[in-house]
Amino acid sequence: MTEAPAPGADVSGDSYLPAHGNGGYRVRHYDLDLEYRLVANRLAGTARVTAVASHALSRFSLDLAGFKVNRVLVDGRPAKYTRARHKLHIRPERRIEAGAGFVTEIRYAGNPRPLGSPHWGDVGWDELTDGALVASQPIGAPTWFPCNDHPADKASYRLALTTSSAYTVRATGTLVSRSRAASTTTWVYERAEPTASYLMSVQIGRYTDLALSERQLVAAPARLVPAARADFARQPEMERVFERWFGPYPFGEYTVVVTDDELDDPIEAQGMAVFGANHVDGRRTHERLVAHELAHQWFGNSLTVADWRHIWLNEGFATYAEWLWSETSGGPAAAEHARRWRRTLAAKPDDLRLADPGVARMFDERVYKAGALTLHALRGELGDEAFTALLHDWTGRYRHATVTTEAFTTLAARHAGRPLDGFFAAWLQSTNPPAS
């Protein structure tokens, strides 16, 4: 008798993006060995995915967009496989029992390109004028490696990438080795902390390193180093300010990459952020974005949403961090930012619910600003001491884990010492939040 597939084997159960991610297992570790040829834009790789079955599996799926798959092994045995859109469907030779660990090895090659989307433009691996970058949020990870592409399935990583020695490779994680052979160099990074697939990143370019502190590094084209030195000079102090509000910085490093190309917006990754040349001018014009991306290391990267409908927990917190930095560094107080954005949002349609904005509005400006307004109102409701204690508890309790709106509101009520149902109903569930 043929085994039935695990329930939801090809879907994640995410309320917004169920086709991205897969059921039946949880990934524990990715081991990626990649080779990239820049002129040809050709990526060849071997991915070893270590996972644990949550159901008995006669088949399972990984997300992989494009590429020719040359071989699939499950626990060292050849497995049958088929492709359908961005899915790699795998049927192992032997059934995998519930609770069993297993290793899937995929050899693949092709020309990586970003995935188009009707809501967010192109995401994933993308060519630069002279190099490459990865901008994966929310569904771009399968454009460069096979994965379970859902934010709740966080895993550790080892990433080895070989490319021309003329280029620097910056990737998420700690650089553990670099070895040169003929005209190529292999860079090996390890990411020990559990990491969502969309937060893994590779940046390839002709970069010069600029150390800001023991753990902060800026990699920028040589021509932009003087401007980057000025624009990111206050980032170490910014980290200290955020540690007072949010608790200890959650990773061992923070690397900012400045590309030689322009980007619409900076890009977040785990322990990393990527800025375009247009975000660097030597006058700190875009310092609020510096604060925003740094804050994502706590909110989005260490604490990762369990489902995309909770996106305000990433963007609202990072936006409020901009306001906290402003009032600490001599700019307008958070209260002034709040007054200005209340007026701005009041002129916009009342058709977005912060706790469930909808897939097309995940990155709507109102999610960012209304999320920050909610936190500022909560700060007023609790007072600074209790609000800070709440944030420290929030980031410590769920460090390197996944979070939901319900978990946050429950913890906030505990720190308030009273129910906050009415407060959160007004701010998170209403399409017309309070005016003050």
Q: Give the pLDDT confidence of 19-58 residue by residue, as tens digits.
A: 999 999 999 999 999 999 999 999 999 999 999 999 999 9
Which residues form the domain of 245? 207-297
- 67 φ/ψ sector (left φ>0, alpha ψ -120 to 50, else beta): left
Structure-block tokens of residue 302: 């260490």
- Dump pLDDT digits (tens) for 146-193: 999 999 999 999 999 999 999 999 999 999 999 999 899 999 999 999
Query: Which residue carries 């292999």 as its tokens?
Result: 186
Tell me if 237 is assigned to a ligand binding site. Answer: no
> Structural domain tally of the chain?
3
Q: What percent of the chain has pLDDT over 70?
A: 98
Tell me if 296 is assigned to a ligand binding site. Answer: yes
Tell me the pTM.
0.96
Annotated catalytic, 237? no
Pick the catalytic residue from 36, 320, 368, 398.
368
Select from 204, 227, 242 the last residue of a domain: 204
Instruction: Establish if 58 belongs to a structural domain.
Output: yes
The strand pair at 168-171 and 124-128 is best described as unpaired
Annotated catalytic, 293? yes
Select from 237, 266, 297 the last residue of a domain: 297
pLDDT of residue 3: 37
Instruction: Establish if 181 belongs to a structural domain.
Output: yes
Pick the catalytic residue from 293, 320, 322, 398.
293
Query: Do 38 and 174 belong together in one domain?
Result: yes
Query: Do 162 and 241 belong together in one domain?
Result: no
pLDDT of residue 436: 67
Tell me if 292 is assigned to a ligand binding site. Answer: yes
pLDDT of residue 8: 62
- Contact by Cβ (8 Å): 307, 16: yes
Query: Do 188 and 213 belong together in one domain?
Result: no
Query: Do 72 and 197 belong together in one domain?
Result: yes
pLDDT of residue 104: 98
Instruction: Establish if 435 belongs to a structural domain.
Output: no
Distance (Å, whole) CA 269 – CA 28:
19
Query: Do 169 and 26 belong together in one domain?
Result: yes
Distance (Å, whole) CA 125 – CA 120:
15
Distance (Å, whole) CA 122 – CA 197:
17
Query: Do 59 and 123 belong together in one domain?
Result: yes
DSSP letters, 351-418, are: ---TT---GGGTT-HHHHHHHHHHHHHHHHHH-HHHHHHHHHHHHHHTTTEEE-HHHHHHHHHHHHTS
CATH number at 177 reads 2.60.40.1730
pLDDT of residue 10: 83
Select from 187, 204, 221 the last residue of a domain: 204
Distance (Å, whole) CA 306 – CA 302:
12
Preceding peptide of 434 cis, ω within 30°? no
Distance (Å, whole) CA 115 – CA 320:
30
Query: Do 147 and 211 belong together in one domain?
Result: no
Percent helix / strand / coil, the chain, rounded to 5: 30, 30, 40
Integer angstrom CA distances of residue 379 from 48, 337, 423: 45, 14, 12
Low-confidence ranges of the chain (pLDDT < 50): 1-7
pLDDT of residue 435: 74
pLDDT of residue 1: 27
pLDDT of residue 5: 41
